[in-house]
A and B are shown apart, each in its own frame.
Chain A
């Protein structure tokens, strides 16, 4: 049976039901196991409230978000430039194809460790390590977008004597926008997870650092409190910034 599309209210209701069922399973498991290594949702949320009140949580989340924003921006700018160049120039595509294959398969951990060895335990090395992990994905997406550009619109721009700026703004970027949006959404999901690993390995603040700290104390409740709060933050960015943007760039489709 094909499923019916839902209205907004229906979707929210199902999302709530989904989250509540997850909480129920968690709570039930905690009740059965009765161990401090699997705290109940209540315990985790009370830790969350304490960390929030002390300002600790906000500070570390903000530090992590700053690193996410910086590496995301660097990765989007450099990755797009490389992807567009590869889509436009056959020689660039052939030359850098092997590079892409190499960097796409390079484990994030290796990039992080090497960046710290080569550039020291600095903020710049952090941003660089995360960006290097994301750049190949952005490049692949934008290369695909550039190859899909319709040449008839170039002819239109030429026939009606559009300026370079007008061509860029009204002809090229709108065609690439869906690809930027796709790269941004998958980028955010990847970048914040890598930032946490980088913080665990070489920073002295941020959500990743806190998780490392409480891992050494085997304090599962606090680990989960940080994890959940960051999931919420990322989901808010996704729901209120990235998804509406992605929808707005394709709203002209009939």
Chain B
């Protein structure tokens, strides 16, 4: 069953030296509960693509289709934690509900799972970056999302912390399966998480390679199809001159 289908033909991007094309013909179709990582160099248009997928940017030609009801079960994790600094951790998380009281148990259990129990009443700027990222993950997971859009959520963290948060993400997904579209420039990170990798070229973003890691979430630790990974990886670093 298709969860999300993105088909972006063209995405204009205004710059001081004229308009350029940020995205060109990207088509991604995601199955339900599939984890797709989109890899590309910095500035290639990955974030723009994700914002289009989330409906945060509608200045493009193309279509984004969600499975019925999926858009209301969507959560977005920003590249920076993007917590409201004038609201406490708890208030930040409660804000995603219209009736937070009804979800008190969920909120408590997710805060416990991300290791923020006891820090609920602290303002975000008083927390470490790692804790802010946990709070940002918690905000996404309290919604029990069926579609999770993640924009380099572990970028610029030290590797130990990033690995811990990746494991946290896996644990959360095991308890709450969701289709995940995960943008990153780190192929190791992508390999450790995803069922399928999609490589984008430097701007304008085009798909230059695709690798299935394993379409079965239970077999995520299975070895990768190394040959196809190498092919895609080579193309990724030496994009087709055409």
Interface residues of A (CB under 8 A from B): 152-153, 155-156, 158-163, 166, 170-171, 174-175, 177, 249, 252-254
Q: Other CB < 8 Å A-B pairs besides A175-B86, A249-B86, 7 of them?
A: A155-B82, A159-B75, A160-B96, A166-B95, A174-B86, A252-B124, A252-B125
* C-alpha spacing A166/B54, complex, angstroms: 20
Asked whether A253 and B85 contact (CB < 8 A) given A155-B51, A160-B76, the answer is yes
| B75 neighbours in A (Cβ, 8 Å) | 159-160
Query: Please, which residue of chain B has its CB at the minimum distance from the CB of A178?
Result: B86
Interface residues of B (CB under 8 A from A): 51, 54-56, 72, 74-76, 78, 80, 82, 84-87, 91, 95-96, 98, 123-126, 139, 143
Asked whether A174 and B78 contact (CB < 8 A) given A162-B95, A253-B125, the answer is no
Inter-chain contact A156/B123, CB cutoff 8 Å: no
Inter-chain contact A170/B96, CB cutoff 8 Å: no
* C-alpha spacing A254/B86, complex, angstroms: 10
| B96 neighbours in A (Cβ, 8 Å) | 160
Inter-chain contact B125/A254, CB cutoff 8 Å: yes
| B95 neighbours in A (Cβ, 8 Å) | 160, 162, 166, 170
Q: How many Å from the CB of A245 to the closest CB on chain B?
A: 14
Q: How many Å from the CB of A150 to the closest CB on chain B?
A: 9
| A161 neighbours in B (Cβ, 8 Å) | 72
Asked whether A152 and B76 contact (CB < 8 A) given A158-B56, A252-B123, A252-B125, the answer is no
| B76 neighbours in A (Cβ, 8 Å) | 159-160
Q: How many A-B pairs with Cβ below 8 Å?
A: 52
Inter-chain contact A159/B54, CB cutoff 8 Å: yes
* C-alpha spacing A184/B117, complex, angstroms: 39
Asked whether A152 and B78 contact (CB < 8 A) given A163-B98, A252-B123, A252-B125, the answer is yes
Asked whether A152 and B82 contact (CB < 8 A) given A159-B54, A159-B56, A160-B95, the answer is yes
A interface, over-half SS = helix
Q: How many Å from the CB of B38 to the closest CB on chain A?
A: 18
Among B86, B95, B96, B98, residue most surrounded by chain A Cβ atoms (within 10 Å): B86
What are 12 A-to-B residue pairs whose CB atoms are below 8 Å? A155-B82, A159-B75, A159-B76, A160-B96, A170-B95, A171-B84, A174-B84, A175-B86, A252-B85, A252-B87, A252-B124, A254-B126
* C-alpha spacing A161/B139, complex, angstroms: 13
Q: How many Å from the CB of B156 to the closest CB on chain A?
A: 16
Q: How many Å from the CB of B75 to the closest CB on chain A?
A: 8
Q: Which 10 A-B pairs have the closest CB atoms?
A: A254-B125, A159-B76, A174-B86, A252-B123, A252-B86, A160-B96, A254-B126, A155-B56, A156-B82, A252-B85
Inter-chain contact A155/B78, CB cutoff 8 Å: yes
Query: Please, which residue of chain A has its CB at the minimum distance from the CB of B123?
Result: A252
Inter-chain contact B56/A170, CB cutoff 8 Å: no
| B78 neighbours in A (Cβ, 8 Å) | 152, 155-156, 159
Q: How many Å from the CB of B230 to the closest CB on chain A?
A: 36
Inter-chain contact A152/B86, CB cutoff 8 Å: no
| A153 neighbours in B (Cβ, 8 Å) | 82, 84
Asked whether A152 and B80 contact (CB < 8 A) given A166-B95, A170-B87, A170-B95, the answer is yes
| A156 neighbours in B (Cβ, 8 Å) | 78, 82, 84
| A158 neighbours in B (Cβ, 8 Å) | 55-56
| B143 neighbours in A (Cβ, 8 Å) | 160
| B74 neighbours in A (Cβ, 8 Å) | 159
Inter-chain contact B82/A254, CB cutoff 8 Å: no
